[in-house]
């Protein structure tokens, strides 16, 4: 049940990233949004869902900074 809730949360955040990327024509944000929507289907452990979700959410920030 907890994995489902975190998966849904990161899916909603991913939808937001996707919409933002589409409107700003930013491919990185769009791809991260798609990844955030899809990956919870393949991961069952709650800790991995949280860790992967947080890492994916940080990708556009670090990409913009040039890391």
pLDDT in tens, 19-51: 999 999 999 999 999 999 999 999 999 999 999
CB under 8 Å to 37, separation ≥6 — which residues?
Answer: 10, 11, 14, 15, 18
DSSP 8-state symbol, 42? T
Say if pTM beats, i.e. exceeds, 0.85. yes
Q: Please report where in the chains the tokens 């913009």 appear, as a residue.
A: 64
Q: Please report where in the chains the tokens 């949280």 appear, as a residue.
A: 50
Closest CA to 33 of 51, 52, 18: 18
Structural domain boundaries, residue 34: 2-65
Closest CA to 30 of 1, 59, 5: 59
Number of domains in the chain: 1
């Amino acid at each position: 049940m907890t994995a489902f809730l975190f998966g849904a949360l990161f899916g909603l955040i991913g939808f937001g990233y996707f919409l933002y990327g589409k409107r700003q024509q930013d491919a990185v944000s769009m791809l991260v949004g798609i990844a955030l929507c899809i990956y919870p289907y393949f991961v069952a452990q709650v800790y991995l869902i949280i860790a992967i979700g947080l890492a994916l959410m940080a990708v556009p920030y670090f990409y913009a900074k040039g890391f």
